[in-house]
């Protein structure tokens, strides 16, 4: 018996030592790179074009598929990812025959172990994916090991042979100082594999229910449809917000479910109705519209307003969606990206009013779901008002229609004192509302 106890102790002791050693060598006290690229009107437009081109190319039926990205485009995507996830800094440098990927991620840990730094080298290859030695902190991992780990995890947790099939798509990688070219060759049976993979991903989505139980979301969605059937002339989004939070408050009190769960399902239903059909890819099938209901939905999507503006309603709704399906920083970054796109020639101009709506939607989704106490407070407030002033401040004094040239003249860039002052002004305006002072 004593021998067994001793062995158990030694095993646990060894495990603790190995764990601390792993943390010591993988986590570091400082990032090994700094953010060197930033978002502006030009990079916003370039990012949009890059992503659109990649998606269109990937959808091509012609074989083989060639995906090409320039160094400038990689810089723009690095800037966007840092703005969306401030804790993540990345930089990709192309040289002849190699691409160097560097990432630093800040973690909510003590200062000495706050950052995880990752270095990857992608080599030119005539066949498949060729990774050089990767470094996680100061620990080297052979590139072929890393590829094998990703393949095994994909095969295990997504679908058998799924990861293997994806790796087989990559037939060639060419790298120069200005471009990275990746050639994809689809196998003959890819069509069936793609369908099966798609089905398996949907099955995994339904099983994990990362964005809430479908039945809960469907309850609020149906409640919203019933409300609209007898209140089809309501033009303010505040009315519909009031309805879903009234239902959430009632259900929280009777079902025993946490208010955060009810609020998330209620907001998700609101987003599915007023937002894009594609949002159901995250939640599973919720909507079951009759032809009359579908027609009514299209009408309301283009006529329901916030502060008497349809565009403000849309910014508000889509920011709620981005927070529910992503994060507040990503929601703010995408809202900012949209405004920079509008500041380009032919756009409606950069609008701080739109940013106000973006941030209001993000904050509402955050405080509605971050703790049971805040969720109940939101229910108590929104279930008893249909006043838009409880949801979003007045917008009259916020500059709009700012062109790219005017933005650079007045605000220079997103790190300037004038731009940050405007964002702080928006945040102060929001905090004047009792809703956004809820902790």
Would you give the end-to-end CA distance of the chain in angstroms?
53
**More confident position, 188 or 430:** 430
Top pLDDT among 210 and 252 is at: 252
Contact 402, 350 (CB under 8 A): yes
Model's pTM, two decimal places?
0.70
Task: State the pLDDT at residue 66.
Answer: 86
Whether residue 310 is predicted with pLDDT greater than 90 in this model: the reply is yes
Task: Name the percent of the chain lying above pLDDT 70.
Answer: 83
Mean pLDDT of the chain: 84
- Burial grade of 126 (CB within 10 A; 0-12, 13-18, 19 or more): exposed
| Contacts (Cβ under 8 Å, ≥6 apart) of 236 | 304, 305, 306, 386, 388
Residue-level pLDDT at 266: 95
The pLDDT of residue 20 is 60
Across the range 1-6, mean pLDDT stands at 59
- What's the pLDDT tens digit per position in 329-343? 665 666 776 777 677
């Amino acid at each position: 018996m004593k021998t067994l106890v001793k062995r158990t102790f030694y095993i646990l002791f060894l495990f603790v030592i190995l764990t601390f050693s792993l943390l010591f060598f993988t986590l570091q006290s400082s990032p090994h790179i700094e953010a060197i690229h930033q978002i502006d009107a030009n990079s916003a437009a370039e990012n949009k074009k890059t992503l659109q081109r990649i998606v269109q190319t990937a959808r091509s039926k012609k074989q083989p598929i060639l995906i090409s990205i320039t160094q400038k485009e990689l810089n723009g995507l690095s800037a966007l990812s840092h703005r969306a996830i401030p804790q993540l800094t990345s930089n990709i440098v192309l040289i002849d025959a190699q691409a160097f990927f560097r990432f630093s991620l800040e973690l909510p840990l003590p200062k000495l172990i706050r950052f995880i730094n990752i270095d990857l080298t992608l080599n030119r290859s005539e066949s498949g994916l060729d990774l050089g030695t990767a470094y996680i902190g100061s620990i080297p991992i052979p590139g072929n090991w890393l590829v094998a780990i990703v393949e095994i995890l994909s095969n295990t947790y997504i679908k058998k042979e799924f990861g293997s099939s994806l790796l087989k798509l990559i037939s060639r990688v060419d790298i120069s100082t200005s471009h990275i070219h990746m050639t994809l060759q689809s196998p003959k049976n890819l069509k069936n594999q793609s369908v099966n993979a798609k089905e398996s991903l949907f099955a995994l989505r339904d099983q994990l229910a990362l964005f809430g139980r479908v039945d809960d979301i469907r309850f609020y969605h149906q409640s919203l449809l019933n409300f609209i059937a007898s209140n089809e002339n309501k033009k303010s989004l505040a009315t519909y917000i009031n309805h879903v939070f009234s239902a959430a408050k009632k259900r929280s009190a009777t079902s025993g479910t946490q208010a955060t769960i009810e609020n998330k399902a209620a907001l998700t239903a609101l987003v599915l109705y007023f937002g894009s059909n594609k949002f159901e890819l995250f939640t599973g099938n919720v909507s079951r519209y009759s032809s009359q209901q579908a027609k009514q939905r299209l009408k309301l999507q283009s006529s329901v307003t916030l502060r008497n503006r349809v565009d403000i309603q849309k910014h508000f709704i889509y920011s709620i969606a981005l927070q529910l399906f992503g994060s507040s920083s990503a929601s703010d970054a995408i809202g900012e990206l949209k405004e920079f796109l509008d500041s380009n020639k032919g756009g409606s101009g950069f609008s701080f009013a739109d940013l106000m709506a973006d941030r209001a939607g993000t904050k509402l989704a955050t405080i509605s779901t971050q703790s049971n106490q805040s969720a109940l407070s939101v229910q108590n407030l929104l279930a008893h008002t249909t006043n838009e002033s409880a949801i979003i401040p007045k917008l009259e004094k916020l500059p709009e229609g700012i062109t790219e040239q005017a933005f650079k003249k007045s605000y220079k860039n997103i790190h300037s004192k004038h731009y940050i002052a405007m964002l702080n002004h928006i945040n102060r305006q929001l905090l004047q509302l009792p809703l956004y002072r809820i902790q």
